[in-house]
Each structure stands twice: as structure tokens, then as C-alpha cells.
Amino acid sequence: MEINNKVMMNQEDIYQAEQDYARYQDLVLKANTLTQEEYEFVKQWDPQAAEAMFHIEWNNTYLNLNTYSEADKEEMDLRREQGL
């Protein structure tokens, strides 16, 4: 007799998993900086994605190298200096 080890998820578990995945996607694809807690969350989901994060020691945050653009930062700084 063969026993199938299938995981049964109830509706709440499915909803929570979908919410966690959406949060993971937002952090990896949209966020420029992550807190320590957000970094740990990403690392738990995908350790390889966490390797694209650069730790900024002075404020204990992580720079997402997949989304950060030095050109965008320079443009934003220029607009701020020009008062736009």
C-alpha cells in the first residue's frame, strides 16, 4: 500500500501564501532599499535573490542592485537641487 504525502492547504493558508509571494515580488522587483526584516524575508523565499542585495552598514539597510539605478538617483538629486 502506497501512501501519498500531499500537503492540503486551506483557504487561509492559500491566501497567506499568495500575500507572501506578492510581498516577495514587490521587494525584489520594485524596492530600491530593504530593511533587515525585508531582507530576511527575501532571503527565506529565495537565497539567490538575496545575493543581489548590498548591505549598507551605517543604517543597516540593503540596496537592491536589481532595481537601483545610479542614473535615476542623479536625476532625482538634480531635480531636488533645481527645486522641481
Domain range summary for the chain, segments of one domain joined by +: 11-82
Give the tens place of pLDDT for each residue, 7-59: 677 888 889 999 999 999 999 999 999 999 999 999 999 999 999 999 999 99
pLDDT-derived band of residue 77, with 50, 70 and 90 as boundaries? confident
Q: Supply 60's cell numbers.
A: 543597516
Residue 69: pLDDT above 80? no
pLDDT value, residue 78 = 74
* 21: Cα separation from own chain's centroid: 10
CA distance 10 to 12: 6
Confidence of residue 62 (pLDDT cuts 50, 70, 90): very high
